[in-house]
Structure 1
Amino acid sequence: MAVRSTIMDTNSFRPGMEEGLDPETRAMAHEREVLGPAYRLFYRKPVHLVKGRGSRLWDADGVEYLDVYNNVASVGHCHPRVVEAITRQASMLNTHTRYLHENVLGYAEDILSTMPDEVNRIMFQCTGSEANDLAIRVAQTYTGGEGVIVTHEAYHGNSALTSKLSPALGTAQTLGLTMRMIPTPDTYRVDIDGTTGGDCTPEAFGAWMAGELKKQVEDMQRHGIPFAAFLADSIFSSDGVYPGPVGYLKPVIDMVHELGGVFIADEVQPGFTRTGDAFWGFQRHGVVPDLVTSGKPMANGLPTSLMAARSEVLEPFAGSIPYFNTFGGNPVCMAASQATLDVMRDEDTMGNAKRVGGIFMQALRAFQAEHPCIGDLRGTGLYIACEIVKPGTKEADQQTALDILEALRDNHVLTSVCGRYGNILKLRPPLVFSEDDVDWFSDAFTTTLRQLGI
């Protein structure tokens, strides 16, 4: 049986699906062989996109789609203020950070102002993988340890180091000998003293998770591996989106520090106002990370990323090892990042995420009441998980979830799935998502469920 990756293969086009494709799509899919076999396309019938604006996308035939998946274009596809900032700076200069430039300094100060005062140093890279890679090295240097703990379905990057900390890449991906995994904080299924995780207090659920972490640190120690860090995104997006109960991470991070490690908050997914409750996902839980990482959403899709740190945590690494990332923090990406941040403030994307996310969740709950295949709904702001199960059970139903995805695609709505079983619709649109977009989704979802007879 072929090995599959939960984040790459579940909703993907595969060889043998060419039959039924129009000649142009079939030819383009065939031409992609030049890229090698590692890449994946979405959908059994791939989409050829040529234009985007806000939360809308258009294919080569002019068909309009609703984007309910793209957190990278955080303030919407081709936002005019971001496009203008990129164009202006690209027409003047683009070079690396070994020269002085006001863009990198201005943005560094501005983005740090959104973080806790304790997080007061920042470095820039080109990808989230690079940011997490650097954060792990910094954590290991600071603690003197090597062991890193992640969750069972985590994804943190594709560098040699971060891929070994990304079990979501599939069983063909070799995991690090010094890493350990704790269970997904699955509030739908975890039973704590007879109470489902979602009904627990933050303290009780956090205590369970902290206990699981302590077990893995003790296992590290038995194998002579000093503990260095817990690496997690605070919404556990690849695991299946588990945002609550709010505050449950605090006992976990307290345990991390008690055991001598540091907390690396991977904010590529929950950061930049997406939760509607705070600028950064970790802030919802009342914790202060030792290191914070983020990626392309900070520049509305341009290849840039950040690693922020407490100065005392960064110093042992940065004070002894020179670090140079050729185009991390380049003037064009910093201009795009600043424009994106300005749009988030001026257009109140946090308020929009909370308001429209609440309307979206309300609409989905109406579907849940009528369709028993929707087993659980959870989320915060514009990050919602819709779990598809076999009616009357909590048994994951991947096939039905994938059938829903394909029918939504045919009804001009784009999204994907996540989680260990690939049965969770991952609804994560650009932050400019509107009430009209919720209506579009609802109409398409109604049609989809009727077509599938579920």
Structure 2
Amino acid sequence: MTQKPLLNSFNPGNANELDAPTKALIARRQRALGAGYRLFYERPVYAERAEGIWLYGKDGERYLDAYNNVPSVGHCHPRVVEAIAKQAAKLNTHTRYLFDVVIDYAETLLATFPPDLDNVMFTCSGSEATDLALRVARDFTQAEGIIVTRHAYHGTTAAAAEVSPSRGATSPRIRTVGAPDFYRSPDGNVGAQLAEEVARAIDSLKKDGAGFAGLVLDTVFSSDGLCVEPAGFLRDVTDVVRAAGGLLIADEVQGGFGRTGSHMWGFARHGIVPDLVVMGKAMGNGMPIGGVVGKSHLFDKFGKSNRYFNTFAGNPVCCAAALAVLEVIESEQLMANSVAVGNYLRTALADLARPYPQIGDVRGAGLFAGVEFVKDQSTRQPNAAAALACVNALRDKRILISTMGPYGSTLKIRPPLPFTREAVDLLIKSLGECLTQI
């Protein structure tokens, strides 16, 4: 299958079909921001405010957010807002001074990890965190070669983009491997297949003189279409990486912070401990903070030969927000909610899908679900056009989701963690209405 993915994207050429205020704002946006930014949906969403799992337009119309993991504990959560305001009213500057809140957050965050992962370095985003993790891995191994999955996305800096083949980047020091696809290999051992392919990629890097620094994996394989089951399938590839002297870098930007429900971190579902963990997005509930958690001996070596400083990374205001996020996850039992509501969501999706041959698979863990559209059940050929049509039909019903996967054929349902059964019922009702039209 070589088809290019269809993207959930607005075509500026269709602006004349929009209402006057939206059309005017898009024109202003294009003049000021240029062509590099992308809007979702055939009819972009014009949002003015948000609360919990809802976004609100200028006229008070509300949209159910079943997509955004950045406001992981809900849009504008009062506890996070209060933490930001209090700290901003006291002090906010770089980390070359001592602050309680920065250390409080670092200690609280590290307490959610296995003991071997005992240091954290802060960044302003997940992209910067990927960049930093690559630097640490290459410094420690004295090798350049990195392996990623074929449709991975790990960020937008020069180094992160180099390991993001979904954005078209290539490099002689990068090798790509196929992501696990249990739907299309139901009888195969996806873990063993991944380990074998990684072993071949390691040999290729070493033969070409790049050496092997590490394997970077999104622990839920979201950009590759979402592969979360069976839990434990990453153990084989972890052994291969360690035997070859490389580091395992777990990207938890989408799979972390309780997203899968059963565990705080996606890697923990597989019973493994990576060497470095990359975080971002959900970390600050909308505030710009990311980080790399790792084994202290890696950071010790890196610190001896490299000076790392990032003016805004781990600043007190962002750390106050991030600390509040962890407190909310615990106090509101959002991981338990992710399990309960996530199970309810996938059961409802599976029940809904039965009469519709265009749905080939429903999969997920916690509050992360994928619904894969196919042209034919027997060949399992992806149907990106149907998936995208469904996304835009839902948007017109004020339900916000998107697509994912190498072909853009899988619905991406990844709501804030306080999502409710009532919200699932609304999503399922609206999705059912859309399916009858596709």
**Which amino acid letter does the alignment assign opposite residue 178 of structure 2?**
P
**Which amino acid letter does the alignment assign opposite residue 249 of structure 2?**
I
Superposed, 1:391-430 pairs within 5 Å as: 391-393=376-378, 394-430=380-416
Residue 374 of structure 1: how far off its partner (Å): 0.9
| Contact persistence 2:4–2:407 (CA under 8 A) | no
2:293 pairs with 1:301:
no
Residue 370 of structure 1: how far off its partner (Å): 1.4
**Which amino acid letter does the alignment assign opposite residue 444 of structure 1?**
S
Superposition CA RMSD, Å = 1.3
Which one of 9, 21, 24 corresponds to residue 21 of structure 2?
A: 24
Which one of 320, 323, 339 corresponds to residue 338 of structure 1?
A: 323
**Paired position in structure 2 for 1:58:** 56
| Contact persistence 2:180–2:191 (CA under 8 A) | no
How many residues end up aligned between the 2 structures? 434
Residue 28 of structure 1: how far off its partner (Å): 1.3
**Paired position in structure 2 for 1:434:** 420
Query: Runs of 4 or more off by more than 2 Å in structure 1?
Result: none
Between stretches 69-78 and 438-447, larger displacement belongs to 438-447
Unaligned segments of structure 2, at least 5 residues: none
| Contact persistence 1:411–1:448 (CA under 8 A) | no
| Contact persistence 1:5–1:169 (CA under 8 A) | no
Cα distance in 2 for residues equivalent to 1:305 and 1:176:
25
Cα distance in 1 for residues equivalent to 2:258 and 2:156:
25
2:347 pairs with 1:362:
yes
Residue 5 of structure 1: how far off its partner (Å): 8.3
**Paired position in structure 1 for 2:174:** 179
TM-score with structure 1 setting the length: 0.94
Cα distance in 2 for residues equivalent to 1:442 and 1:94:
44
2:333 pairs with 1:348:
yes
Cα distance in 2 for residues equivalent to 1:253 and 1:301:
32
Cα distance in 2 for residues equivalent to 1:128 and 1:444:
33
Unaligned segments of structure 1, at least 5 residues: 191-195
Cα distance in 1 for residues equivalent to 2:426 and 2:52:
14
| Contact persistence 1:68–1:428 (CA under 8 A) | yes
Which one of 276, 287, 291 corresponds to residue 272 of structure 2?
A: 287
For 1:11-39, what per-residue CA distance to the aligned partner results, in whole angstroms no more than 9, with x for missing partners? 00022111321111111111122211111
SS of alignment partner, residue 381 of structure 2? coil
| Contact persistence 2:148–2:215 (CA under 8 A) | yes
SS of alignment partner, residue 91 of structure 1? helix
Cα distance in 2 for residues equivalent to 1:296 and 1:93:
23
Cα distance in 2 for residues equivalent to 1:413 and 1:243:
25
Cα distance in 2 for residues equivalent to 1:319 and 1:352:
43
**Paired position in structure 2 for 1:118:** 116
TM-score with structure 2 setting the length: 0.97
- % identical equivalent positions: 46
Cα distance in 1 for residues equivalent to 2:275 and 2:127:
18
**Paired position in structure 1 for 2:83:** 85
For 1:85-133, what per-residue CA distance to the aligned partner results, in whole angstroms no more than 9, with x for missing partners? 0011111111010010001100101110000100011110101011110
**Paired position in structure 2 for 1:376:** 361
For 1:129-168, what per-residue CA distance to the aligned partner results, in whole angstroms no more than 9, with x for missing partners? 1111000000001111110000011000100111011011
Residue 208 of structure 1: how far off its partner (Å): 1.2
2:145 pairs with 1:155:
no
